[in-house]
Amino acid sequence: MSFTQIFIAFYFGGNLVLLGRCRPGDTQAIYELIVSKDVTFTCATPSEYFSWQNVMHRIGDLGRWRREDGALLIEGRISGDTQIKPRGLRIDMRDIESAMIEAAMGSLSEVVVSVRHRFLQPPEFWFAHVKFNPKHPKIKEEHILRTVSASLSLPQYMLPSVVLRLGQMPMTSSGKLDRKDTASLALTGVSIDQDLSAKFTESERLLKDIWTDVTPKEVINMHHITPPSDFFHVGGTSLLLLGLQAHIKRSFNIELPLVQMFESSTLAAMALQIESEKTPEVKNLTGKRRPRCLQPRSL
């Protein structure tokens, strides 16, 4: 990198703008980066630092500026590698990563999101590996791991099921982020939402066992389910909600509407809905609903 100049570019109003240049080490004219004039403007752009008879080669790598130490992180040509289409919805994992960094308000310096499948089949599950800002208080790290996913302003199907801490992100031999290596890391670690003192009602305890049967083991084992736990934050998805509905019907002999399950997605709220469905309505001797009592009006 001693003879390399890096120009940071962005698009503004349809025009390519050069913000400036990073100069790692001694620099000189970058002879090897000059390409022929036949290259189109989409692949090369004139540089004010060279004569207008020449053009600068655009390598297409993406990167970002790390604010806490001023480092320029080169992520490589990842266009397309971070986009998937689960259940017909196109999602870019970088959108989730950016949202997590923003929601953490400076606590996270790097986030890498990957997707995994249960038995190599849908549904997909999001996993986020995060690196904490060294200046962030370590005493707050567990709280961030436990709450950052639920705090994201993203659709439910984009929320990571598991957030894991890494001391250092895997890098390639060229010093770029290795997304494939990160996605293949073993999912190890302790539960991030433990509350061993939590107390359960009978319905909550039975429902907790059903959640454990429905959700993938590699995800549910990362969580300690408590009454406030949300089905969609411990490995549940909209597709698995159908299986959960069938399990509840077999175990409790009731059928909760899917809309109602979406709205009551915590263990406590869903168990409460089951209890309310199990409680028979008060009827009179004729088998009809008891009419509402009317207050007599004064004449």
The CATH number for 219's domain is 1.10.1200.10
Residues 6+ apart with CB under 8 A from 52: 46
Q: Same domain, yes or no, for 70 and 159?
A: yes
Q: Same domain, yes or no, for 52 and 157?
A: no
Q: Residue 135: what pLDDT? A: 84
Q: Residue 39: what pLDDT? A: 31
Q: Which helix (H) or strand (E) holds 73?
A: strand 72-76
Q: Residue 76: what pLDDT? A: 59
Q: Residue 151: what pLDDT? A: 86
For 287, phi then psi, to 5°, come to 90, 0
Q: Same domain, yes or no, for 50 and 79?
A: no
As for how many domains the chain has, the answer is 3
Q: What pLDDT digit, counting tens, does each position of 158-197 carry?
A: 888 888 899 889 988 877 888 888 888 877 654 444 455 5
Q: Could you tell me if residue 54 is inside a domain?
A: yes
Q: Residue 21: what pLDDT? A: 41
Q: Same domain, yes or no, for 165 and 113?
A: yes
Q: Residue 34: what pLDDT? A: 32
pTM of the model: 0.56
Domain that holds residue 141: 64-183
Q: Residue 138: what pLDDT? A: 84
Q: Residue 44: what pLDDT? A: 41
Low-confidence ranges of the chain (pLDDT < 70): 1-81, 86-88, 117-124, 188-198, 279-299
102: its two tokens: 């923003």
Q: Residue 134: what pLDDT? A: 86
